[in-house]
Structure 1
Amino acid sequence: MTSTINASPTIGTSHWYLAPPGARSGIGAPADTAAPVALVAPKRFHPLRGYSTSVELVTRQGDLLLRDAARAAGRPGGGVLHYRVAGGPGPVVVVFDPAHIKTIMTADESIAPSATRQSPLAPIVGSESVLTSVGDRHRQQRALLLPRFHGKAVARYQDSIDRATDAGLAAWPVGKPVALAEVAQRITLDVIMSAIFGLPDPHDTTAAERDMRTAILRFLRLSTTPIATVSQLANARRTEPIGLLKLVMTAVDRTVYRVLAQRRTDGDADTRDDIMSLLLTARDTDGKPLSDTEIRDELIILLLAGHETTANAVAWTFERLTRAPGVYRLARRAARHDDEDYLEALINESMRSRPVVPIVARELKAPFDLGDTRVGPDVVALISILLLHHRDDLYPQPFAFEPTRFLGVRINPYELMPFGGGIRRCLGAPLAMAELRTVVGAILRRVELRTTSAPPEKPLHRNVTMIPGRGGIVVADSIT
């Protein structure tokens, strides 16, 4: 990295998401054309610097990291950012160079295991889920679940995706502002519930299953409120929830255990081919069935991760499109002509510019040489997908929304990482992509959205996700 932020007058803004389309990030490329964005730092109370950094990582993550990465560009060790987070795991480094990311992602799990046990999701999904487990247990869980999210299994879910999409569009009001995340959330939650419970129709559910669906949606709505941010900080590094989060999760768990008890009573798990039946009939390495707690943890992560990230990817796609009228017209034309290449490029560009999961983490148990910097041991490496996706050398004009950058391009898995990478790559990625193709394509073909000159929506950080601050507000002028 040879660029500096002093080569020419800077473009000043207080937030990265407000940067003009032609701006550079200042990360990873020479300063020879346009000025990089100069992100204005908020005032900090220095005696509480560690706590200030903790709050910024939760509330202004993109501003903090893009600002510091641009300032460090061209300096020795500038490809790695160093922080100490109060109340956190100790020393933290932020990595955003594709070569460094590959080094960490492909390292043996014994020296670079996932840091998900320290994730904000840990007190929500529990210690027994495929997200929070490591080592042999994680490999066994992944081997058990992976076939349900690939190949023929995803093809079997297509009818459910189509039905849920039709139902979601039918309930969409014309001429009124709508938070697209909520529309997409109902669609994707119905799809993942169909996959988990093997329902022939997304709405053919029992009372217990409907109660669980309602409880999860209520939890997601609460998680976007300011008090949820305070609760997230209070629960940092805990494996069991406390305070408000405990009250909310107790209500959710009650509905999950009711569904689990109902399915055990039905006693038909051996004859069904759904994820719930798979978990009910599974055996551990000692031949023992999974406990209710183990099944609960798997169900919670599948229900939440299996729909919430996809729903917000849909919302971000149209939040971006409605602010780029020319691209929106091209996307509608591509959908009407079944141009799958352009739609795939559109989805990739949406996930590049607004990655729903902006960071993944690894615990470094041994020293790692990352360019001219040695990090570890006993350091947590935060792999910033947001910074990676906004490198000038990988994506010229990274703040522009331009799907054509992905046409005819073979994607390097360490340069575009919307689903993470390595052995921890999201196992539901194929199902998520099938949903995105269907839902985004259907909206483009059937809904005429009103474009807008409104400022971009502020990214809101919720647990490990980055979502549109207002839910991706759009207005439909017509629906067919």
Structure 2
Amino acid sequence: MNALLQIPTRESRPRWHLIDPDHPGVPATVDEAAGPATDARGRPVPRASSNAVRTGIRVLTRGADTFLADVERLGDVVAYPFPGRPGPSVVISNPAHIKSLLAEPDLAPSATSFSPLRPIIGPDSVLTAIGDRHRRQRALLMPQFHGKSVANYTEAIERATAHRIDTLPVGTPIRMSRIGQSITLDVIMSGIFGVADPSTASPAEHRLRQAVLRLLFWSTRSAAANLVQLVNLGRPEPSLPLRLILRPVDRSIQEVVDERRRSGGEGHDILSILLSARDEAGVALSDSEIRDELLTLLLAGHETTANTIAWTFERLVRHPQIYARARKAAIDQDEVYLTAVLNESMRSRPVIPIFARQVTVPWRFGAYRVEAGSVVLMSTVLLHHRADLYERPFAFDPERFVGVRPAPNTLMPFGGGNRRCLGANLAMAELRAVVGEFLRRTELETTSAPAEPASHRNVTMIPASGGLVTVRAVR
């Protein structure tokens, strides 16, 4: 097993999260030409490996290390074999190459059939649907995550944050990912089910909340989680072990849906919208379609935000001067600097490290050509550490974003194109509120401990220790 997990780099190379801040960054590509291939020109993409199982294990356990080492060795267009896929997947990080895919969603749709999330959230989710179906689902849900709807979440965010801060243990290390999960799960449940206050949740809704937290805890802390993920790579349906793991959540979702149907209540929450939705023929959504949509929103709607909170504090406590300035900015209501801190956290530690597309026609990436049907992985870790985009990209430096609006396709914590995260506006509102309030009301111990490594789980990259911090005082 140790041989399988060995990363093919020089022995002296440190893990990516420990690379010196003055490291020059990911090498830039001169040839930015990209798009559907109009002729037969173009070289085959260089392959990093020929062993699919070994590659799958390495990418699951040390994806950023693998990609960073290989891009230095082979350039920023690299092919990898993966279990369950008919051909190699191509990893890219050049913003011009990425833009070419996002600009042609019909020719380069989301590679949902290969997503590690598909066996978990099912085929009928806004994350796994493509084409017209995806557009209809996105249009149905979009109003719940924009404008006035986001403002309506304010009370839930403030109440959940205040409660967690008031109950923080002083002097004891805590995982900020757990704190963040608790807050953001309360917020998303208020939007999905109309649960304005967790104390008013029905027994079924409370059981669903606990089932989701248990699932997340298992997937983070269980040694078997990566094995289950590897077994399910490329599968359209969950394996038996995964079905058993998901059963408590599935049962709880169905219980909540049945309860709402029996009550006959109508509201403006997402579940009410899903229950009342009809297609062109007047047919309602099936229970499986509602299940897939609800599970997607429950998981994607809070976990990425929770781990961004964790990464932000993991970064801040290791940079005392930046932490001190961030605390002052929070007290002074300096939203410009707080937003810069959040952008820098999401740049240096993107929770979603990869976005995938499957090209339906041959495609060119600079000097290279990939054939129709190829899966192309856009690496945000590589993109966010490119030498031609960011000065000292391995340094944590919020100043780079003060008063600066990131250019499209250079900072992509929420993806891009027609598949950009539905909840991006809500996530930013939560991040500003939660991080700002923690900075104002708590004093954390800073540390000279090494940076936390990343743990790769399904499509997310999370702090391996959960963003461990120690609270010195609570105001």
Which deviations, in whole Å up to 9, do the C-alpha atoms of 1:338-360 show, x marking residues without a partner? 00000011000000000000001
**Quick one: structure 1 residues 177 and 108, their matched pair in 2 at CA, closer, same or farther if it must change by over 3 Å?**
closer
Which deviations, in whole Å up to 9, do the C-alpha atoms of 1:452-475 show, x marking residues without a partner? 111111100010000000101000
1:340 alignment counterpart: 335
Tell me the amino acid that sits aligned with residue 13 of structure 2. T
How far 1:125 sits from its partner (Å)?
A: 0.5
SS of corresponding position for 1:401: coil
Q: Could you tell me how far apart the structure 2 residues matched to 1:47 and 1:179 are?
A: 36
In the alignment, does 2:261 pair up with 1:259? no
1:93 to 74, 90, 93: 90
Q: Could you tell me how far apart the structure 1 residues matched to 2:441 and 2:408 are?
A: 33
Unaligned runs of 5+ in 1: 1-9, 31-45, 73-77
Pairing of 1:392-407 with structure 2 (within 5 A):
392-407=387-402
SS of corresponding position for 1:203: helix
1:172 to 168, 172, 181: 168
Tell me the amino acid that sits aligned with residue 225 of structure 2. A
Aligned 8 A contact 1:168 1:184 in 2: no
How far 1:48 sits from its partner (Å)?
A: 7.4
How far 1:47 sits from its partner (Å)?
A: 10
Q: Could you tell me how far apart the structure 2 residues matched to 1:24 and 1:168 are?
A: 40
SS of corresponding position for 2:81: strand
Tell me the amino acid that sits aligned with residue 211 of structure 2. A
Q: Which has the higher contact order (CA 8 A, sep 6+)?
A: 2
Which deviations, in whole Å up to 9, do the C-alpha atoms of 1:44-75 show, x marking residues without a partner? xx997221111111111000000111122xxx
1:22 alignment counterpart: 22
2:241 to 241, 244, 258: 244
How far 1:87 sits from its partner (Å)?
A: 2.8
Tell me the amino acid that sits aligned with residue 59 of structure 1. T
1:81 to 73, 78, 83: 78
Aligned 8 A contact 1:312 1:356 in 2: yes
1:42 alignment counterpart: none
How far 1:365 sits from its partner (Å)?
A: 1.0
Tell me the amino acid that sits aligned with residue 25 of structure 1. G
1:312 alignment counterpart: 307
1:106 to 103, 106, 109: 103
SS of corresponding position for 1:476: strand
Q: Could you tell me how far apart the structure 2 residues matched to 1:312 and 1:417 are?
A: 16
Aligned 8 A contact 1:191 1:202 in 2: no
How far 1:369 sits from its partner (Å)?
A: 1.7
1:226 to 198, 223, 226: 223
2:37 alignment counterpart: none
In the alignment, does 2:159 pair up with 1:163? yes
Pairing of 1:186-335 with structure 2 (within 5 A):
186-224=182-220, 225-269=222-266, 272-335=267-330
Taking every aligned residue pair, what percent have the same amino acid on both sides? 53
How far 1:89 sits from its partner (Å)?
A: 4.3
SS of corresponding position for 2:249: helix
2:448 to 453, 467, 470: 453
TM-score using structure 1 length:
0.91
1:382 alignment counterpart: 377
SS of corresponding position for 2:350: coil
State the aligned residue count.
Answer: 448
Greater shift in the superposed pair: 372-381 or 255-264 = 372-381
In the alignment, does 2:70 pair up with 1:68? yes
Aligned 8 A contact 1:313 1:350 in 2: yes
Aligned 8 A contact 2:113 2:236 in 1: yes
Aligned 8 A contact 1:115 1:361 in 2: yes
Aligned 8 A contact 2:26 2:385 in 1: no
Q: Could you tell me how far apart the structure 2 residues matched to 1:374 and 1:47 are?
A: 18
- Runs of 4 or more, structure 1, over 4 Å off, are none
2:59 alignment counterpart: 57
Q: Could you tell me how far apart the structure 2 residues matched to 1:23 and 1:11 are?
A: 17
Q: Could you tell me how far apart the structure 2 residues matched to 1:13 and 1:325 are?
A: 26
Which deviations, in whole Å up to 9, do the C-alpha atoms of 1:61-100 show, x marking residues without a partner? 000000111122xxxxx33111222333422110100000
Aligned 8 A contact 2:105 2:418 in 1: no
Aligned 8 A contact 1:25 1:70 in 2: no
SS of corresponding position for 2:357: strand
2:124 alignment counterpart: 128
How far 1:376 sits from its partner (Å)?
A: 2.1
Taking only aligned residues, the RMSD between alpha carbons, in angstroms, comes to 1.6
Greater shift in the superposed pair: 246-255 or 48-57 = 48-57
1:362 alignment counterpart: 357
In the alignment, does 2:473 pair up with 1:478? yes
TM-score using structure 2 length:
0.92
